[in-house]
Structure 1
């Protein structure tokens, strides 16, 4: 089959676009309003952007009444948010927090979730989520959308602090089987990530710095490249 989105019909019972890009990590984003109300909502269009320094992004459509999501409003007004990993054990709470409610409702309380204060940003975190990123707001990219959305807000934040429970570590590595995260698929489907396999790219081992997300190895490489330049600079002065 072939179709042009928004131009020609796909002829299927449901739109296949999101079902083709799977699995997608869930951005379970907590924010606090300027009035001090805690907000929590999952976003299926979420990912990391880079690792040195680490940035993440999530995409929030406007509501069907052309209002921006509470998460967008809170993040832009306070400059802070937290990402909480969505796990299989917390799946029902994730689903409850997906419902659109008025800004004055605390989704933590509504979903029966315990809170934990973040250390560097003024947000609550999901206490039982084993991995949390504290983030400072960087920027918003507003994409044009078709009605009734109006626009799509792509929020970018810099990760300034990371919390990892000791319970999900094995030999010092994050063990995906212990994290037991859920991911978004197409339609109303989710996936449970419980199995992995390894493949190492052949060739220059330095490419692995990025694949591992190792900021320390990246820094060592940068320092090694900078040292000969400093030596040449000193030699030129002499």
Structure 2
């Protein structure tokens, strides 16, 4: 099968996000200048650089009360900071609650019963028991083609690692089983790993 996106795919559901899988989930926490907080998962998320450490996430939708974007990006435009919380399998249900298109006045931490703590280097909350959290300051926001497609890049200014996830000096993903987004309504979790050496490595 071949199709041009501009012509449509002719399938029951759009296959695009089922092709680019699995995708890590950035659970983005922000706080607006009015003090209102937001927590929402984004599966168009990844790390993009080591030195300095940098990440990105893409917001691709709108809310009627947010002037052509979503609450996360709206808050980020005001404060230039955000926190990425890593989602473990055990948090799948509360993460899903926070994915709803709630009114701007709804605090997803409260809505889903998620404990929060204050970040160290930015003015925002983070998920208290997340396996890891990355505090970030915005480096740039890029508008992509399309009505509401924005990519936010951030430099990591603080890293939180949950103590039980650090084993023998390494961050061990099997301790928490990262949740990953597949296509449609499907998700997966990491339950096994293997290692490969690059050519020339000892």
Shorter-chain-normalised TM-score: which range?
over 0.9
Task: Give the deviation of 1:179 after TM superposition.
Answer: 2.2
Check the 8 A contact 1:181/1:193 in 2, yes or no: yes
Correspondence list, 1:26-41, <5 A: 26-41=25-40
The CA RMSD measured in Å over matched residues stands at 1.3
Displaced runs of 4 or more, over 2 A? 64-67
**2:14 aligned residue:** 15
Correspondence list, 1:86-235, <5 A: 86-145=87-146, 150-203=147-200
**What secondary structure is seen at the aligned counterpart in 1 of 2:6?**
coil
CA distance in structure 2 between the partners assigned to 1:152 and 1:49 by the alignment: 18
Task: Give the deviation of 1:5 after TM superposition.
Answer: 0.4
**What secondary structure is seen at the aligned counterpart in 2 of 1:151?**
coil
CA distance in structure 1 between the partners assigned to 2:114 and 2:10 by the alignment: 42
Task: Give the deviation of 1:14 after TM superposition.
Answer: 1.1
Larger Rg: 1
Gaps of 5+ in 2: none
Check the 8 A contact 2:63/2:70 in 1, yes or no: no
CA distance in structure 2 between the partners assigned to 1:152 and 1:64 by the alignment: 13
CA distance in structure 2 between the partners assigned to 1:163 and 1:180 by the alignment: 17
Check the 8 A contact 1:62/1:153 in 2, yes or no: no
**1:42 aligned residue:** 41
Give the TM-score, by structure 1 length.
0.81
Task: Give the deviation of 1:108 after TM superposition.
Answer: 0.3
CA distance in structure 2 between the partners assigned to 1:15 and 1:62 by the alignment: 16
**1:231 aligned residue:** none
CA distance in structure 1 between the partners assigned to 2:195 and 2:39 by the alignment: 34
Task: Give the deviation of 1:204 after TM superposition.
Answer: 6.2
Q: Kindly indicate which of the two structures has a greater share of residues assigned to helix.
A: 1
Gaps of 5+ in 1: 206-238
Task: Give the deviation of 1:56 after TM superposition.
Answer: 0.4
CA distance in structure 2 between the partners assigned to 1:151 and 1:13 by the alignment: 24
CA distance in structure 2 between the partners assigned to 1:11 and 1:36 by the alignment: 45
CA distance in structure 2 between the partners assigned to 1:192 and 1:85 by the alignment: 12
**1:4 aligned residue:** 4
Task: Give the deviation of 1:82 after TM superposition.
Answer: 0.3
CA distance in structure 2 between the partners assigned to 1:79 and 1:63 by the alignment: 19
